[in-house]
Structure 1
Amino acid sequence: MTVASTDPATGTRSATQGLSVVQGTALSVGAVLGTGVITLPAVAAGIAGPASLIAWLVMVVLSIPLASTFAALGARYPDSGGVSTYARRAFGGRAATVVGWVFYFAVPVGAPAAAMMAGNYVADAVGGGRPTSIAVGYVLIAVVVIMNAFGLRISGRAQLALTGGLALIMTITIVAALPHARWANLTPFAPRGWSAIGPAAAVLVWGFAGWEAVASLSAEYRHSQRDVPRAAAAAITIVAVLYLGLATTALLVLGSATGSSTAPLSDVLAVGIGGQVRIVTALVAVLLTIGAMNAYFAGGSKLGAALGRDGGLPTWIGQGSAVGQIPRRSLMITGVLAAASQTAAMIFRLGVTDLVLLTTGAFTLVYIFGTAAAVRLLPRRSVGWWTAVIALVSVLVLAALTGLHLIWAVAIALGAYLSTRLRRQ
């Protein structure tokens, strides 16, 4: 997208190009909806049963101050650097490096989780169980690495088309399956106790990660200060309706079987429509996952190269950090680590839930830095500042709920901090 310039005082572009509210809303919904919707209703139900609906509601409510905080930061400091930029402004370059490390090393852990989600849909359609899911995971990791190595990208329009197709399938699924809903399927409501709602909410962070994209896109809006908050509000509403609608429908239609489902979207759609819907949903799941993984591998490998260029990682990783270059060394590290994570999951029989919790632990830590930066950067006692305080407290509670799965992300952050100290010495 070619633009002329942005007035830092008003956040208004001097050219007519740039994101409108509708375009920004679509991109924000695409960033948040992602791959989680194809699996998380079953994962959360497996942890807390029907009480997982409370966890969904909690995450929707939490998204309001979280998205509003990043929208306020984006409107005030329009820049493509996102959370890293705000951490640098608020706490200095060392904090920005820590955020960069946490995100960079979270991608190889999250990739197998996303790949296995799609693999479960393929296994549900063609058979083969877990071996099929694992095999599909390896294939998707290899495909995405090769695509990035040759500079192939899925365009923003194609990404939005995939997300739009998923949203359409979700809507059709909800409408078609609701006549088969039974209120009795919600009893017992909390079969694993009320305390299970916390861990379920920690897993659902995966499905709501992406609100920082609102801030990263802020520099691309035609009128940042006016349009970023509007797009964020519209995106929150759409995501809330789709997530809550599908999670509720799955539990009302499938009942206790929801928690053991490996392809909940296919199962609910099959009840509502019948026929060969599993092949269709498997294809959508694979394409959506390739798109999401491609975006994260591209962004993560570029971030790794930038960290190498700036001294946050070994210098040789910095190859390909310039605009237009392909960061193949950083990409190679990401691909090898992703394959290693997939192998570890296979050997130690780790499921999607374990990998998701490890990844969401890293996301939560990034959100802590982002909301803490907002508390420091936004005008004190303003509406935005109070919203940031609420968001910071909320993500700190989420971090506590993540428990031991947060330790590895904290260890990475500590490693990044010590690295910057040693480099300065």
Structure 2
Amino acid sequence: MSQQLKQDITLLGGIGQLSTTLLGTGLFMIPAIAANIAGEWSLWAWIILLFAICPIALTFALMGRQYPNAGGTAYFVRQAFNSKMERSVAWLFLSVLPVGIPAAITLAGGFGKELLPHFMSYQYLAELFTLALILILTLLGSKSSSQFQVLIALSIFALVAVFFWQGDISLNDIAMPRLNTSAVLPIGLALAVMFWCFVGIEAFSHMGEEFKNPQRDFPIAIVLGCFLAGFIYWACSVVILKFHAFEPNINSHSSIPWLSEQLLGNKLAIGITLIGYFACFSSINLYTQSMIRLVWAQAREYRPTSTMATLSKRGVPTVATFLVTIVLFLSISFGHLVNLNLELLVKLANSVFVMLYLLAMLSAFRLLTGFAKYLAGFSTLLCTIVFLCLGWSMLYAITIFSLLMLPWKKWLNTSKKIENEI
């Protein structure tokens, strides 16, 4: 039997899949959060981020084409450095679990509670319902349909276009504000949150060999997919700024439903709610599945006889699934107890994602040659700048990665040796 993946992804299909991945949960919270942080200067922040992400995306494309492997960034790091660093990167990615996915579930819960019966219409219950649905789908061995994701993406594009039309957006509304020294700090703080919107390029970079014409179409799909998603984010921000649909007027996760009600009335309210919920759910499901499989893959690699490395009859890593679900349940419950806000969770998750991107770019700089090496070097610089923009929240990723890089195994073996001698 051939081990070759089917090459059936077209250029348009690739653009659609990437833009869907990038939009996901981001459109329903990040433009409002960015507007709250930087005001009208957030329009400049989107343009800066878009041009900064392009060389990073191209570097991922080159690495994915030259080093295709399901290990993602962890595999790149292993090729460039060593297996110890590979394991640290893998577990660093898992540290997003208690902050990143709960942030997305919080957003999905905002839409989901509107779909529940009135007596159950509570944020916490809607979040638990979403988590339970993910658990059930995972145990059944179901996979998200790419056609369904593309349909959601088209619905999002149409929604933003309708907002532009009904909002009577004029040339004055899209005029870029004048920049000055006062804009530097707000734009930097906004960028720290907005990076969330371009998380997912790393996963897409490993689909290169599935394109019909990977040498031509794969890099184009990444660039155009990023630009398309970036334009949608920018356009949505224009509408949000015009109608002041951000805090303190409107909660960040409620900005799109509020705009829909203001511009379209209640007639399409249920449709908007469904689009929002399923867009969020698709992204949450994708990342939850990837983390479950990463836990299982690490167990298979380093503890092959453990129960964590076993699969069910349906081919599902059941123990890893329940472990991830329990962590998410505890994270969601803890967030409600201490009232963690969405912006804080996004910043903590972004610190991990930016560090992962930075490590991937450093690996590319060591592995690639010629023009690609210079591109990777420039991308490393850009990731470093974005990482510094995170401010205090970058300490989350630095602390976890530093702890993971400590020689715990060596210390444990030394301790056991001393005990045996005694």
Normalised-by-shorter TM-score class: 0.7 to 0.9
Alignment of 1:182-261 (within 5 A): 183=173, 194-254=184-244, 260-261=250-251
| 2:389 equivalent to 1:389 | no
| Alpha-carbon offset, residue 184 of structure 1 | 11
**Alpha-carbon distance in 2 for matches of 1:388, 1:311:** 31
Q: Which moved more, 1:169-178 or 1:231-240?
A: 169-178
| Alpha-carbon offset, residue 181 of structure 1 | 8.8
| Alpha-carbon offset, residue 319 of structure 1 | 2.3
**Alpha-carbon distance in 2 for matches of 1:139, 1:219:** 37
Partner of 2:299: 308
CA deviations over 1:42-65 (Å, ceiling 9, x no partner): 111122222222222221111111
Partner of 1:400: 388
Letter in 2 for 1:252: K
Letter in 2 for 1:292: S
Alignment of 1:45-124 (within 5 A): 45-122=35-112
**Alpha-carbon distance in 2 for matches of 1:21, 1:3:** 24
SS at structure 2 position matched to 1:204: helix
Match of 2:256 among 265, 272, 275: 265
| Alpha-carbon offset, residue 186 of structure 1 | 9.2
Alignment of 1:362-373 (within 5 A): 362-373=352-363
| 2:236 equivalent to 1:276 | no
Partner of 1:342: 332
| Alpha-carbon offset, residue 101 of structure 1 | 0.6
Contact 2:9 2:210 in 1 (8 A): yes
Letter in 2 for 1:344: F
CA deviations over 1:49-108 (Å, ceiling 9, x no partner): 222222222211111111111112123233333222211211122222122111123133
| 2:144 equivalent to 1:138 | no
Partner of 2:151: 161
Contact 1:43 1:353 in 2 (8 A): yes
| Alpha-carbon offset, residue 290 of structure 1 | 1.7
Contact 2:24 2:282 in 1 (8 A): no
| Alpha-carbon offset, residue 299 of structure 1 | 1.1
Match of 1:417 among 402, 405, 411: 405
| Alpha-carbon offset, residue 300 of structure 1 | 0.7
**Alpha-carbon distance in 1 for matches of 2:75, 2:313:** 18
**Alpha-carbon distance in 2 for matches of 1:178, 1:391:** 38
| Alpha-carbon offset, residue 333 of structure 1 | 1.6
CA deviations over 1:371-394 (Å, ceiling 9, x no partner): 111111110xx3322221121111
**Alpha-carbon distance in 1 for matches of 2:303, 2:86:** 10
**Alpha-carbon distance in 2 for matches of 1:185, 1:257:** 22
Return closer, same or farther for 1:328/1:59 CA change in 2, 3 Å cut-off. same
Letter in 1 for 2:403: G
Match of 1:291 among 277, 282, 287: 282
**Alpha-carbon distance in 2 for matches of 1:419, 1:279:** 53
TM-score (norm 2): 0.87
Contact 2:351 2:387 in 1 (8 A): yes
How big is the alpha-carbon RMSD for the aligned residues of Structure 1 and Structure 2?
A: 3.2
Contact 2:30 2:194 in 1 (8 A): yes
**Alpha-carbon distance in 2 for matches of 1:105, 1:323:** 29
Return closer, same or farther for 1:358/1:73 CA change in 2, 3 Å cut-off. same
Q: Which moved more, 1:412-421 or 1:139-148?
A: 412-421
Q: Which moved more, 1:284-293 or 1:167-176?
A: 167-176
Contact 1:218 1:228 in 2 (8 A): yes
Return closer, same or farther for 1:325/1:127 CA change in 2, 3 Å cut-off. closer
Return closer, same or farther for 1:255/1:167 CA change in 2, 3 Å cut-off. closer
Return closer, same or farther for 1:223/1:185 CA change in 2, 3 Å cut-off. closer
| Alpha-carbon offset, residue 297 of structure 1 | 1.3
Contact 1:79 1:219 in 2 (8 A): no
Contact 1:82 1:212 in 2 (8 A): yes
**Alpha-carbon distance in 1 for matches of 2:17, 2:239:** 26
**Alpha-carbon distance in 2 for matches of 1:91, 1:312:** 22
The gaps in structure 1 that reach 5 residues or longer are 7-14
**Alpha-carbon distance in 2 for matches of 1:96, 1:423:** 19
**Alpha-carbon distance in 2 for matches of 1:183, 1:148:** 45
| Alpha-carbon offset, residue 151 of structure 1 | 1.6
| Alpha-carbon offset, residue 305 of structure 1 | 0.6
SS at structure 1 position matched to 2:200: coil
CA deviations over 1:336-359 (Å, ceiling 9, x no partner): 111111122111111111111111
Q: Which moved more, 1:32-41 or 1:19-28?
A: 19-28
Letter in 2 for 1:5: Q
**Alpha-carbon distance in 1 for matches of 2:189, 2:107:** 19
Partner of 1:9: none
Partner of 2:420: none
TM-score (norm 1): 0.86
| Alpha-carbon offset, residue 137 of structure 1 | 1.6
CA deviations over 1:115-173 (Å, ceiling 9, x no partner): 11122345678999xx8333322221122122212222222222222223222222222
**Alpha-carbon distance in 2 for matches of 1:184, 1:222:** 38
Larger radius of gyration: 2
Identical aligned residues as a percent: 22
Partner of 2:17: 27
Return closer, same or farther for 1:308/1:412 CA change in 2, 3 Å cut-off. farther
